[in-house]
Each structure stands twice: as structure tokens, then as C-alpha cells.
């Protein structure tokens, strides 16, 4: 059940994918404050595994779930990390309630185990203080830009191109402003490395332009023509 990421490249690629995950974006700063036996990337990947396992097997009975709790606790060994894993799994299940029919039942069973730990409620309070849409978009853009700036130190690694591609793919989900921010940083990095990332830059730029066009509100444009105070095509 525990996910082990053995190399910095594996951790980085996993982390970039996690930037698409709202649960990661809302919770990772609070979780980093805890001393963990797993890296932040391993922790979230393990929580994903555990949540998927619970859902796939429809483990909504506390008595049956107890066996899985015991096995996971034996694997993790560190009680604080175990508490964080349970909390993350509960938050993920709560987020899936609208799209997974059995998520609510599994979450109800899991929360009983979570409540055995004082840190559970404290973490939920910290998570709830995060704003959602605008904050998440800005945070994602900043994190992706930071990853791009780190490329300069990692130019000798063999899979930097794959990392840049992953960053760009994650940037597609940002707002137009967020995409522009990442695009500006990628352009600087691209110039420093003799335009080796030009294809990725062009792809991001094209996606941003398409999203910009899609965001135009045609009704507001028409309002200009209907406004008697605006003269168009007249002398």
C-alpha cells in the first residue's frame, strides 16, 4: 500500500502531477509542518492508493475496515504519519462524494478511525482556512513557475524535457492569467537553454490564446453595439 519514490526525478514528476489535485493544494502546507516518515509526494500517493482501495472494495463497514487499518498501521509504523494518511483519505473521500456513489458511506466508516486522533480536527480546521478558486490558481501558477526555475540546476539530468512537458500539461488547467505567468517564466528558461523547450512554449502559448478567446463574453460585446453613447463606424 505504501508508495516509495526512490529518486528525486520520481518525486518531482509525482509532485508536478499533484499540483492538479485540489486536495494537495489545500492541505500540503499544513501537512509539511508535521514530522513524517514519508516524503510529501509519497504521502499523497499512498493516500490515493488507500482511498482507491477502500472505494473499489466498498469498505463501508467499520468492522471490516478495521483489518485494513491494522495492516496500514503496521506498514507506516509512525503514528503521526498514520493519522495524516487517514485524514487525507477522509478529505479525498469527502471531495469524491458527488462523483463516487459509495464515497460517502466509506467516509462515514473512516471518520470513526480518524476521530481517535486529536490532530484530525486540528488539520481539518487548518484546511478550511484556505480560499478556493483564486487562491488555488495563483498557488498552482507560482509552484509550477518555481519548478521551471529549478530546471536551471538540473539541466544535466536526462529527463528534464519530460519534467517541462509535465509542467506545461499542468499549466493547461490554469486561468488565462495563470497560464501567462507560467509562460513568461518558461520563455526565460527557454532563452537560457538555447530554445530547447520551444515546442513546449509554443504549445502553452497556443493553449492560452484559445482559452483567452473562449473567455470572451459575447453578450457584453454586443452591449457595446446597443449602447447609444458608443459610435461605431460613424463620423
Predicted confidence (pLDDT) per residue in 15-62, tens digit: 999 998 888 988 888 888 776 788 999 999 999 999 999 999 989 898
pLDDT of residue 223: 47
Which is nearest to 179 in space by CA: 145, 134, 228? 145
Instruction: Cell numbers for 115, please give them.
Output: 476521530
pTM for the whole thing? 0.74
| Burial category of 234 from C-beta neighbours within 10 Å (exposed 0-12, middle 13-18, buried 19 and up) | exposed
Amino acid at each position: 500500500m505504501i508508495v516509495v519514490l526512490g529518486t528525486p526525478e520520481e518525486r518531482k514528476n509525482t509532485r508536478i502531477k499533484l499540483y492538479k489535485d485540489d486536495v494537495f493544494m489545500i492541505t500540503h502546507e499544513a501537512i509539511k509542518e508535521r514530522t513524517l516518515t514519508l516524503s510529501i509526494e509519497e504521502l499523497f500517493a499512498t493516500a490515493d492508493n488507500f482511498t482507491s482501495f477502500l472505494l473499489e472494495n466498498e469498505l463501508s463497514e467499520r468492522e471490516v475496515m478495521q483489518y485494513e487499518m491494522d495492516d496500514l498501521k503496521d506498514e507506516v509504523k509512525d503514528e503521526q504519519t498514520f493519522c495524516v494518511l487517514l485524514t487525507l483519505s477522509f478529505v479525498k473521500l469527502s471531495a469524491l462524494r458527488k462523483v463516487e456513489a459509495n464515497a460517502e458511506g466509506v467516509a462515514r466508516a473512516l471518520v470513526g478511525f480518524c476521530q481517535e486522533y486529536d490532530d484530525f480536527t486540528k488539520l481539518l480546521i487548518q484546511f478550511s482556512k484556505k480560499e478556493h478558486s483564486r487562491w488555488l490558481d495563483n498557488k498552482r501558477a507560482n509552484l509550477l513557475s518555481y519548478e521551471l526555475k529549478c530546471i536551471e540546476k538540473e539541466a544535466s539530468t536526462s529527463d528534464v524535457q519530460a519534467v517541462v512537458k509535465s509542467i506545461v500539461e499542468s499549466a493547461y488547467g490554469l486561468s488565462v492569467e495563470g497560464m501567462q505567468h507560467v509562460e513568461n517564466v518558461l520563455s526565460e528558461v527557454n532563452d537560457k537553454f538555447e530554445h530547447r523547450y520551444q515546442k513546449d512554449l509554443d504549445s502553452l502559448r497556443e493553449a492560452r490564446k484559445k482559452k483567452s478567446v473562449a473567455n470572451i463574453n459575447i453578450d457584453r460585446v454586443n452591449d457595446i453595439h446597443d449602447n447609444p453613447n458608443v459610435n461605431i463606424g460613424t463620423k
